[in-house]
Amino acid sequence: MRYSLARLLRLLPAAYWILVVCFLVTWALCERFGQGDFLTLENFNNFIARSVALGIVAIGQTFALLVASVDLSVANLISVTVVTAPFLMQGDPALILPAMLGLLAIGVLVGLVNGLIITRLRVSPLIATLGVGLLLQGFINASFGHLPGKVAPGFQSLAYGSVGPFPAPLLLLVGVTVLAMAVLHLTRFGAHLYGVGGNAEVARLSGIHTGRVMIGAHMMSACAAVISGIFLVSRLGSAAPWVGTESAYDLQSIAVAVMGGTTLSGGRGAIGTTLACVLVFSLIDLLFNQMGIDSFLKQVLRGMIVIVAVASYAVRERRAVA
Amino acid sequence: MSALSDAAGQPARLAMLLRAMSGVLVLLCLFAAIVFFDPNFLHPGPMMAFVKRSTPLMILAMGQLFVIVTGGFDLSVGAIVSFTVLSSALLLNGDAAGTWWVVPLVLALGAMLGTINGLVVSRLRVPSIIATLGMMISINGAGLYWSGGSARGYLPDAYRVLGRGNLPAIGPISGVPVAMLVLLAVVLGASWLMHRASFGKMLLAVGDNARAAELAGVPVNRVRTLSFMLSGLSAGIAGVLLGGFSGPSTGVGAGLEMQAISATVIGGAQLVGGRGSVAMALAGSLTLQALFTLLNLIGLPKPLRDAVQGAILIAAVAYSALRETRKH
């Protein structure tokens, strides 16, 4: 009996089981103690909108983690996007597309700089991206208030609109997820990511340009942060320079990715499990909101869940860590 | 270190000296620039104020050093600093009579939280970034929950004198901060642990190659746990000093973990572990603090502070990394 249960559990990665358990617990508690129904469309939409920003950053972060790197600059990059977007748009609907392309170009550039500092200057990824993050923060500090502008009228439909029965945030999240999965599993670049992360030296000797792969991973991570920033600014409707760092998207995205089974030492990880853990965090948010419990306790629970989840992987595998 | 450099011969010692010199040279240039913009800086008053301001970061950097030389990170120190300040204010609530038991209690609390970090890393085998990140999120939440979202309570003068008070004048010497005595004690303790006691050698061995250290008989798990305990304790001490220096507030420790890591790394500690010294960690923190002071003097306080910290961080690490490659 026990044997078959263990086999059943192993059918899916642990992250999905955590999600299922969290969902059932939240459902039960909300039905019993919460205010109002739990399984409503409104709750679902709210739940998705809550997951989009962190979800997209975490998908990007997974790319960086896969090559045994890490990206601490994403939170500041989100803030940069949020501050710059209204300035580029100037309230003109015709400028929405050019502004988005411009923002993505910023993302590509930041990813390139991160990657070059890591590969050319041989600075450890943690310090390199922390430093670039601080540089971006300096830019925000210096420029906030000097970059007037406002978002275009139609722009907020990205956060509040819908296509047919589907809300736009859901489509955005699904779109980015599918795209990331396609890059990871269908392209040569995706295979190289796993190769470089698994063993950079072997990958290099097999003829992979490890430096380029590293730079590419950081570009993906930075672009994901920019997309997340674009979503946030369309949700907020105005420049809020603290939005990226306030929610600690840098550390949170690392936490959910690692919770989802992506290793910090590279070479192992997936998009789906990362996303499952983002949804777990959103479920906890939802639960605490519905039950009307102090939000600070939610943080305590989040911290513990991260540790317990990662410990469950690590203890099972018995690998040495630092 | 002496056994190692003897084995490697004289050049190794010379290289170490040169490395130390280049760090000190940057620091001296910064001080020269500060004096250029503010000639008063060399007077005892401003000098002592500078020391008082830098003490918490120096103590945090020494704590962080213990963890970094083993190849780990402690991201929770900023949260522990905030938690120390908040809990001191709540426990004391202006009652000076309680100072004698609250200070040891919050220090023990810091050490305990550090120990939990260490146990999670060494026993549960959670990577230190994640373990201390989880602790950071939890402790921030717990502190805010306990205090109700904003700083409550009041710290009596008997407590605050540790962070902001001066020693009574002894003859011609006056205006020496109490914090400097604390700093001196921590420096002596840390140097002894790091460079005299066998514990320091074990730390370096674990950071260099944990497996080899284990085979050589080093109790790797205990050494790791102790290093996190020391880091937590240093956060407790820095918290008591900062609580005294700036009074109770919820955001007092925010971002300090990154500053401490930066200071240690600017001071030449290697993030993969196996290298680092107390003196250089102190030099790194002073460099960072001198830089902030200089930016303040030039009139670029907050905006460029972050950017310059980022630039110097990358430059310092890139410089030492490039020199490493040239040598091989």
Q: What is the DSSP string of B172-184?
A: TB---BHHHHHHH
| A204 within domain boundaries | yes
User: Per-residue pLDDT for A144 more than 80?
Assistant: no
| CA-wise closest residue to B130 among B84, B76, B65 | B76
The count of domains in chain A is 1
**Residue to substitute from A299, A315, A316, interface B, most B β-carbons within 10 A:** A299
Cα distance between residue B133 and residue A319, in whole Å: 20
Q: Give the DSSP letter of residue B193.
A: I
Given a contact cutoff of 8 angstroms between Cβ atoms, the answer to whether B47 and B199 are in contact is no
Residue A230 belongs to what domain range? Answer: 41-315
Residue indicated by tokens 């709750």: A43
Cα distance between residue A223 and residue A57, in whole Å: 9
| A92 within domain boundaries | yes
The pLDDT tens digits of the residues spanning B186-230 come to: 999 999 999 888 999 999 999 888 899 999 999 999 999 999 999
Q: State residue B2's pLDDT score.
A: 41
Alpha-carbon B70 to chain mean position: 16
Residues on chain B touching A75 (C-beta within 8 angstroms): none
Report the predicted TM-score, pTM, of the whole model to 2 decimal places.
0.87
The pLDDT tens digits of the residues spanning A210-224 come to: 999 999 999 999 999
| A20 within domain boundaries | no
A238 CB-contact burial (10 Å; exposed 0-12 / middle 13-18 / buried 19+):
exposed
% of chain B surpassing 90 pLDDT: 42
| A82 within domain boundaries | yes
Given a contact cutoff of 8 angstroms between Cβ atoms, the answer to whether B183 and B58 are in contact is yes
Cα distance between residue B308 and residue B304, in whole Å: 6
Q: State residue B175's pLDDT score.
A: 78
Cα distance between residue B136 and residue B142, in whole Å: 10
Residues on chain B touching A132 (C-beta within 8 angstroms): 310, 314
Which whole number is the average pLDDT over B65-89?
A: 94
B36 CB-contact burial (10 Å; exposed 0-12 / middle 13-18 / buried 19+):
exposed
| CA-wise closest residue to A250 among A83, A108, A61 | A61
Beta carbons of A310 and B318 less than 8 Å apart:
no
Which domains, ranges and CATH numbers included, belong to chain B? 24-327 (1.10.3470)
Mean pLDDT, rounded, of chain B = 86
Beta carbons of A303 and B141 less than 8 Å apart:
yes
Q: Residue A123's closest chain B neighbor by CA?
A: B318
User: Per-residue pLDDT for A228 more than 90?
Assistant: yes
Count residue pairs from A and B with Cβ separation < 8 A.
Answer: 167
Residues on chain A touching B207 (C-beta within 8 angstroms): 322
Q: Give the DSSP letter of residue B170.
A: B
To the nearest whole Å, the CA of A163 is away from the closest chain B CA by: 37
Give CA separation, B204 vs A62, B88, B127, B201, B223, in Å. Answer: 31, 35, 18, 5, 10
Q: State residue B8's pLDDT score.
A: 45
Other C-beta atoms within 10 Å of A289: how many? 17
Range 31-90 of A in CB contact (< 8 A) with B: 70
User: Per-residue pLDDT for A2 more than 80?
Assistant: no
| A36 within domain boundaries | no
Mean pLDDT, rounded, of chain A = 87
To the nearest whole Å, the CA of B70 is away from the closest chain A CA by: 7
Q: Residue B228's closest chain A neighbor by CA?
A: A322
If one compares B10 and B284, the residue with the highest pLDDT of the two is: B284
Given a contact cutoff of 8 angstroms between Cβ atoms, the answer to whether A114 and A218 are in contact is yes
- Out of B70, B145, B317, the one facing A294 most closely (by C-beta) is B145
Given a contact cutoff of 8 angstroms between Cβ atoms, the answer to whether B80 and B113 are in contact is yes
If one compares A8 and A43, the residue with the highest pLDDT of the two is: A43
The pLDDT tens digits of the residues spanning B245-300 come to: 888 888 888 889 989 998 998 887 776 677 788 988 998 899 989 988 888 888 77
Beta carbons of A255 and B134 less than 8 Å apart:
yes
Cα distance between residue A222 and residue B39, in whole Å: 44
User: Per-residue pLDDT for B174 more than 60?
Assistant: yes
The pLDDT tens digits of the residues spanning A104-140 come to: 999 999 999 999 999 998 888 988 999 999 999 988 8
Q: What is the CATH number of the domain that holds A192?
A: 1.10.3470
Tell me the two tokens of residue B106.
Answer: 């919050």
The pLDDT tens digits of the residues spanning A73-104 come to: 999 999 999 999 989 988 888 888 999 999 99
Cα distance between residue A57 and residue A78, in whole Å: 9
Cα distance between residue B292 and residue B309, in whole Å: 8
